[in-house]
Amino acid sequence: MSVQINYYAGAAAAAGTTAETVDTAGLTFGQLKQRLAAAHPAVPGQPVLHDVLTRSSFLLDGLAVRDDARVLDGAGALDVLPPFAGG
């Protein structure tokens, strides 16, 4: 199983991409966040993805997800939404 990860604004800058597909077989939401942070090490002059993830909101198939224990099997897309100026 895989999930399309969509990064927006500062999350895209920290990840170095706007989207990627990640194998999530058996992973929880918390484990996925750890995997993403480890896969995108800090780049000088850019935000650190680990830090961005701790402040971001997430939409899993269009619905807010906050529970790190949630198993991702069957999910299709995860949107990473960092805080936006003015909103």
pLDDT in tens, 6-47: 999 999 999 999 999 999 999 999 999 999 999 999 888 888
- Asked if pLDDT for residue 85 goes beyond 70, the answer is no
- The token duo for 16 is 């170095």
When the pLDDT of each residue in the chain is averaged and rounded to a whole number, the result is 94
Which run of H or of E encompasses 52? helix 49-55
Cross-strand partners of 7: 80
Q: Is the pLDDT of residue 87 over 60?
A: no
Residue linked to tokens 């999910």: 75
CATH architecture of 2-81: Roll (3.10)
Q: Which of 34, 30, 17 is nearest to 65 (CA)?
A: 30
pTM score of the predicted model: 0.92
